[in-house]
Amino acid sequence: MTVSQVAISAHGVEKWFGEGEARTHALRDVSFDAYFGEVLFIVGPSGSGKTTLLSVISGILRPDGGRVIIDGVDVWSLGDDELAAFRLAKIGFVFQDYHLFPRLTTLENIAIPLVLRRYDWAEALAEARKYLRIVGLENRAQLPPVKLSGGEQQRVAIARAIVSQPDILILDEPTASLDGETGRMIMAFIRENILNERRCIVIVTHDARIFDMASRIIDMEDGRLKAIEKGTAR
């Protein structure tokens, strides 16, 4: 996989939480670049600022200082409506606990982002079926999430995140609730089927079992970027 231009650029990002004596400096002058064509891991102990950073670069949590540039767009300079539209078009997010809708079928869950983009329902379902095929779950189309294994739910969440073809895919602890073999299977699937030269994948993880599957690794501690290391995957 050839790594090309900058997908995400963070410049001096700062974030505080709380007031008075309880005030916490969650992100301290964090700067880094992430590139199209790579899988970037953000690692570190609990409380190091990983998830906060993920929320800032995905356009969910406004920083108190610094800038985030995604594919040339200064994200936090956008108005609320512009930001919502930009996120929908550019960023796919896979939550740690999947956030699948329990009353919808697998196929319907995948179709939701397209409905938000004003697709006709039938058209959205037809497109969702293509992505269900990509993640290898065609035979699970009519099942509710509760009938799926953890690995299958993760693949449905990934399909839902990429159905609108975002350039940036962000995953929060994608292997946290999976056994080691399934976790590596999911990561191998992401690298082989989801990553391409026009997509950047950013993953927050505690799971040392998959560190060897990163292109690069950002190590965080106490809200600071401690180090950026080259991964072993290519």
Asked if the structure places residue 173 within a domain, the reply is yes
Asked if the structure places residue 23 within a domain, the reply is no
Segment 51-78 shows an average pLDDT of: 95
Counted domains in the chain: 1
Give the pLDDT confidence score for residue 1 in this predicted structure. 46
pLDDT score of 194 more than 60:
yes
Asked if the structure places residue 49 within a domain, the reply is yes
SS3 content of the chain, % helix, strand, coil (to 5): 40, 25, 35
Give the pLDDT confidence score for residue 134 in this predicted structure. 87
CA distance 168 to 37: 10
- Tokens 């609108």 found at: 164
Segment 159-183 shows an average pLDDT of: 88
Mean pLDDT of the chain: 91
Instruction: Report pLDDT digits (tens) over 151-164.
Output: 899 889 989 998 98
The DSSP H or E segment spanning 51 is helix 50-57
0.75 surpassed by pTM: yes
- Tokens 């880094």 found at: 32
Stretch among 30-44, 111-125, 132-146, 165-179 having the lowest mean pLDDT: 165-179
Name the residue with higher pLDDT: 100 or 186: 100
**Domain membership of residue 198 as a residue range:** 36-59+80-230
Give the pLDDT confidence score for residue 231 in this predicted structure. 73
Name the residue with higher pLDDT: 230 or 192: 192
pLDDT score of 232 more than 70:
no
Asked if the structure places residue 95 within a domain, the reply is yes
Instruction: Indicate which CATH number applies to the domain containing 85.
Output: 3.40.50.300
Name the residue with higher pLDDT: 48 or 3: 48
Question: What is the DSSP secondary structure assignment for residue 212, as one 8-state letter?
Answer: G
Instruction: Report pLDDT digits (tens) over 132-149.
Output: 988 889 999 999 999 999
Asked if the structure places residue 25 within a domain, the reply is no
- Measured between alpha carbons, how far is residue 183 from residues 45, 46, 109, 190, 210 in Å? 19, 20, 22, 11, 8
Asked if the structure places residue 26 within a domain, the reply is no
Inter-residue contact 215 to 233 (CB < 8 Å): yes
Instruction: Report pLDDT digits (tens) over 67-118.
Output: 999 999 999 999 999 999 999 889 999 888 888 999 999 999 999 999 988 9
Asked if the structure places residue 132 within a domain, the reply is yes
